[in-house]
Amino acid sequence: MSDQDTNSMWGGRFAAGPDAIMEAINASIGFDKRLAKQDIAGSRAHAAMLAATGVITDNDAAAIREGLLTVLSEIEAGDFTFSTALEDIHMNVEARLKALIGEPAGRLHTARSRNDQVATDFKLWVRDQIDAAIQGLEALMRALLAQAEAGADWVMPGFTHLQTAQPVTWGHHMMAYVEMFARDRSRLIDARARMNECPLGAAALAGTSFPIDREMTAAALGFDRPAANSLDAVSDRDFALEFLAAATICAMHLSRFAEELVIWSSAQFRFVTLSDRFSTGSSIMPQKKNPDAAELIRAKIGRILGANVALLTVMKGLPLAYSKDMQEDKEQVFDAADNLMLALAAMTGMVRDMTANRAALETAAASGFSTATDLADWLVRALGLPFREAHHVTGALVKMAEDRGCDLSDLSLLDMQSVQAQITEDVFGVLGVANSVASRMSYGGTAPVQVRAQIARWKEKLP
């Protein structure tokens, strides 16, 4: 087979043959240009340290500093031309710096490698994303708190197996998600603290013989300390994996809430009305209002979990220290971060804008024998029945109400006494849904006074 035939097999983009293929698979500039800000920040800190330790002159450091600021301004203005031939963001920046300032640019790379450089850049980027995600979660939590406060005493059905279980309050249900998203926030805060060690100065894998000051660069970049082992520093991607793990759990929580909003906004439930800003109409059915934003949020878990699995799979078999496989660490993290932030913003907007239908919530709360457990508890408290016997009596009364097509509170005292003779008129005091929720006064319970206490606690805790 001729070279021409071989090249034509690759087609189009790879018509130039193996050299084009190698350039395409080797280059990362198509995605790691997102690290430009972090790359330049790391280089500025490194240059300042090299000057402070006498490795380069102050004049060279000043030229490098000014040149890097020019490069950054070009990138931010969209005037920078990225080259695939230069492989990555580091070489693109360095090449442009050399064109701007000449020989001093070549001294910037003293006492470092692209291995510790990329680890530092990526860690800085993930740290920025964690900070943004924490702020996004706090905004969502505040929106949930506002909903909870407005409906702290609005009764609604609580579900298990998506079957009516016991009455709860709207505020209590909203606060359940505050707790969920608070755990997501806590995981991100923990991950940020654990990752805040600086890889810069680890060089390729063994450190450097130059008299560098790693404490200085770590402090300049906002790290708590330098990473303690140069091998680990350049091969570690735990910080990205922890971010993806936390993002995956958060996306799962968002998906659960989105599923409830899809159900609640349906014509069959009518618990909530979503605003037009986060809904769409049908192309052929004019009566429909589709909860598209909620459905799209529900789907985000797929790609965020996929990113988590992808990076775990990339890392699982790599010997120390750096391998080119690790170039595959960024695209899925970028995608997951983008989609997490989009999902958080969309959910926050939906929660702020949605209107709960108090009448529909209350009607649903009273259906499905939701106060059956309250009746059983009353039989135990008031009559001293063993719970199993109380459960049996309650089941018989539920069956009687079912057969008559009414609720428990619609049965007469004589009806109830036909099943358990000791029942008194006092039983009707526990059968209303408002009485039911008001009685759940245990810490963390659904009683409005407890809900308001939790709202106050979180309003004080959130920045």
| C-alpha closest to that of 194 among 230, 223, 219, 234 | 223
Exposed, middle or buried by CB within 10 Å (0-12, 13-18, 19+), for 58?
exposed
Catalytic hit among 73, 282, 323, 367: 282
- Assess contact for 260 and 272: CB atoms under 8 A: no
Angstrom CA distances, 409 to 62, 367, 376, 430, stand at 82, 11, 13, 9
Q: Which two tokens stand for residue 267?
A: 């014509």
- Assess contact for 93 and 36: CB atoms under 8 A: yes
- Please say whether the dihedral angle defined by the alpha carbons of residues 116, 121, 125 and 128, taken in this order, is positive or negative: positive
282 belongs to the catalytic site: yes
Catalytic hit among 2, 161, 209, 442: 161
DSSP H helical ranges for 54-111? 58-77, 89-101
Residue 367, CB-side half-sphere exposure with 13 Å CA sphere:
9
d(CA 155, CA 146): 17
Catalytic site residues?
A: 161, 282
